[in-house]
Amino acid sequence: DAEITQSPRHKITETGRQVTLACHQTWNHNNMFWYRQDLGHGLRLIHYSYGVQDTNKGEVSDGYSVSRSNTEDLPLTLESAASSQTSVYFCASSESRENTEAFFGQGTRLTVV
């Protein structure tokens, strides 16, 4: 079955280190998204992509970057991890821009110490 997977599921890193979170989907979806969720809050959009070589900033993009070199993957990079980036990160994908549901991964819990 097609799916969307995130790795790692849990990670602890030190302040100032570069960290990359992986997201891989096998639906061949054009759209991919990264969200973060802080304790007790809803999800906030970090970056998104509508296709290969396309990336866009979301609501809370500072300190994060993404690249889209193929359809299946949208890795999220924290250039220099900060304690404020301790959060749960969710990746999502959807088929097209038009009126479709989004499918979410299981999340990556990142702790910056």
Partner 1 sequence: DAKTTQPTSMDCAEGRAANLPCNHSTISGNEYVYWYRQIHSQGPQYIIHGLKNNETNEMASLIITEDRKSSTLILPHATLRDTAVYYCIVNRAAGNKLTFGGGTRVLVKP
Query: CB under 8 Å to 39, separation ≥6 — which residues?
Result: none
Q: Which is nearer to partner 1, 68 or 107 (CB)?
A: 107
d(C-alpha 39, C-alpha 29), whole Å? 29
Smallest distance, Å, CB 59 to partner 1? 8
CB-based contacts of 32: which residues, under 8 Å, 6+ apart? 23, 25, 48, 49, 68, 74, 91, 92, 93
* Residue 1 or 98 having the CB closest to partner 1: 98
Q: What is the smallest separation between the CB atom of 19 and partner 1, expressed in angstroms?
A: 20
| Residues of this chain that bind partner 1 (CB under 8 A) | 31, 33, 35, 41-45, 48, 58-59, 88, 90, 92, 94, 97-107
Q: Shortest Cβ distance from residue 80 to partner 1 (Å)?
A: 26
